[in-house]
């Protein structure tokens, strides 16, 4: 019988499903009758019915554009994020189980091979001794003089064969249970702790340009079709970028961005007071590095746009913000690409996005992860390098 807690959890999840599409709410809106629906589902329903009626109670709505149910939207996003984390945990444990079974199977195969080789040696020795015994019996059946004449040769042949004692159990032939089962929970938790050294950078959908689509777990973004969204003060309306949800004003922070084969992208940081509406020029308050029309460029509030000398195509980039020294740097694997002074009296937020308006049919996506033990940029004989304590990617 299901526990009360399980029933409550199941009931809570059911409240997060749209009555029309029966899926988790996406951009839920609230009618005057207190029923909520996905924005797209409600519009389709109204078009089909040719009336602004509620799909549940049939009451006519007085608003053609009902307000967003922000509380329900936040609950759904939190639920999806928790579900995604559970799926990742389940996948991690499945892979760990497969790895341990494979390790036990490999040890078993190796030890079976050792035993097989030992058995083959014993079989050859038994076969040789059996051959001598058969030959001796045949000689005994012959005349006595024949056996006596060949006695010396037969005795030497027998003496050449080592005496076979009782088979001994080989050392280490049993499976190493202590290796595979000892501290099993502790070892798995250690691996989970190592994996969690890299956590997703959560992006803020309320700042995203209408042509940017964020992933369900809010850790990735891709260029897509324009979607209808509130023209809230936080949202960028002309520059296809979005901000991270967490601001940084102290410490050292670093995140990686998987660029793939994207032809247009922009990365960096911005203060909370950055201009959100209208054209953003070179002095817009952003510290950025971008790739556009085959060229890598960098800009900051105090400097105009400069073209960077980059030989190879960058497919993964690390952004490092050191709030203590006031330095923002961009690195490709273990080499520094660009760094600049970056100081602000406000908290700085991660900037990520695409400015590709010419190729809407080929959207690209980012996967972002922040490192708890990020790289530090240091000087060595006049050459800047980036040192990384760990190399691990979380998608």
Whether the Cβ atoms of residue 204 and residue 242 lie closer than 8 Å to each other:
yes
CATH code for the domain defined by 14-68:
3.30.40.10
In this structure, what DSSP letter does residue 205 have? G
What is the C-alpha to C-alpha distance for residues 260 and 149, in angstroms, rounded to an integer? 88
Written as one string, the DSSP assignment of 316-348 is: EEEEEEETTTTEEEEEETTEEEEEEE---SS-E
Please state the domain extents for the chain: 14-68, 89-195, 198-372
- In the chain, the N- to C-terminal Cα span, in Å, equals 38
The residue ranking higher by pLDDT, 225 or 53, is: 53
Considering the domain 198-372 in this protein, what is its CATH number?
A: 2.60.120.920
pLDDT of residue 148: 61
> Confidence class of residue 66 from pLDDT cuts 50, 70 and 90?
very high
| Arithmetic mean of pLDDT, 372-392 | 31
Q: What letter does residue 27 receive in the DSSP assignment?
A: S
Identical fold at 14-68 and 198-372? no
Given a cut of 60, whether residue 261 has pLDDT beyond it is yes
Both tokens of 26, joined, read 């996406």
Q: Which of 135-139, 211-215, 249-253, 260-264 bottoms out in mean pLDDT, i.e. has the lowest?
A: 135-139
pLDDT digits 0-9 by tens, 318-335: 888 988 889 899 988 667
Token digits of residue 23: 């899926």
214-223, 227-236, 295-304, 362-371: lowest mean pLDDT where? 362-371
Q: What is the DSSP string of 355-372?
A: ---S-TTS--EEEEEEES
Q: Report pLDDT for 238.
A: 82
For the four alpha carbons of 333, 338, 342 and 348, in that order, the dihedral sign comes to negative
Which of 284-288, 313-317, 352-356, 359-363 has the least mean pLDDT? 359-363
The closest of 284, 271, 283, 270 to 352, measured between CA atoms, is: 270
pLDDT band of residue 357 (cuts 50, 70, 90) is very low
98: tokens are 């497969």
Count of residues for the chain?
395
Q: Give percent of the chain above pLDDT 70.
A: 74
> pLDDT at residue 170 above 90?
no
Q: What is the pLDDT of residue 159?
A: 65
Q: Which of 56, 47, 353, 13 is nearest to 207 (CA)?
A: 353
- Res 181: pLDDT: 73
Token pair 């900051």 in the structure block, residue: 300
Percent above pLDDT 90 for the chain: 18
77 compared with 8, residue with greater pLDDT:
77
Q: Mean of the per-residue pLDDT values for the chain? A: 77
Report the alpha-carbon distance of residue 323 to residue 341 in Å, rounded. 10
- Residues 263-321 have pLDDT tens digits of 888 999 999 989 888 777 655 789 999 998 889 999 888 777 888 888 888 888 888 89
pLDDT surpasses 50 at 86: yes
pLDDT of residue 116: 86
Question: Left, alpha or beta for 349 (phi > 0: left; psi -120 to 50: alpha)?
Answer: beta
Residue 74: pLDDT band with limits 50, 70, 90 = confident
More confident residue, 128 or 60: 60
């Amino acid at each position: 019988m299901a526990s009360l807690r399980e029933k409550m959890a199941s009931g809570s999840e059911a409240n997060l499903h749209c009555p029309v599409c029966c899926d988790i709410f996406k951009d839920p809106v609230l009618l005057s009758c207190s029923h909520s629906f996905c924005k797209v589902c409600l519009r389709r329903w109204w078009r089909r019915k040719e009336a602004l009626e509620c799909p549940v109670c049939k009451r006519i709505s007085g608003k053609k554009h009902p307000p967003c149910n922000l509380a329900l939207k936040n609950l759904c996003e939190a639920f999806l994020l928790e579900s995604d984390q559970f799926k990742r945990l389940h996948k991690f444990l499945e892979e760990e189980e497969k790895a341990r079974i494979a390790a036990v199977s490999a040890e078993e195969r190796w030890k079976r091979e050792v035993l097989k080789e030992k058995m083959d040696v014993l079989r050859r020795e038994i076969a040789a001794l059996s051959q001598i015994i058969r030959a001796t019996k045949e000689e005994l059946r012959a005349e006595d003089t024949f056996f006596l004449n060949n006695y010396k040769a037969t005795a030497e042949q027998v003496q050449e064969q080592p005496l076979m004692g009782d088979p001994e159990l080989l050392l280490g032939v049993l499976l190493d249970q202590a290796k595979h089962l000892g501290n099993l929970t502790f070892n798995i938790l250690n691996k989970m702790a190592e994996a969690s050294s890299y956590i997703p950078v959560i992006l803020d959908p309320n700042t995203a340009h209408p042509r940017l689509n964020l992933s369900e777990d809010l850790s990735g973004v891709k260029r897509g079709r324009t979607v209808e969204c509130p023209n809230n003060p936080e949202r960028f309306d002309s520059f296809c970028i979005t901000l991270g949800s967490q601001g940084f004003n102290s410490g050292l922070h670093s995140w990686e961005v998987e660029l793939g084969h994207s032809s247009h992208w922009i990365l960096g940081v911005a203060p909370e007071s950055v201009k959100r509406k209208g054209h953003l020029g070179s002095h817009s308050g952003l510290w950025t590095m971008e790739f556009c029309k085959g060229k890598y460029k960098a800009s900051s509030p105090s400097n105009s746009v400069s073209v960077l000398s980059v030989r190879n195509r960058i497919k993964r980039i690390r952004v490092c913000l050191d709030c203590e020294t006031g330095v923002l740097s961009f690195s490709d694997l273990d080499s520094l690409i660009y760094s600049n002074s970056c100081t602000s009296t406000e908290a700085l937020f991660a900037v990520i996005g695409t400015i590709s308006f010419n190729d809407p049919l080929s959207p690209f996506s980012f996967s972002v992860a922040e490192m708890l033990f990020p790289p530090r940029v240091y000087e060595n004989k006049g050459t800047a390098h980036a040192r990384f304590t760990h190399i691990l990617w979380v998608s």
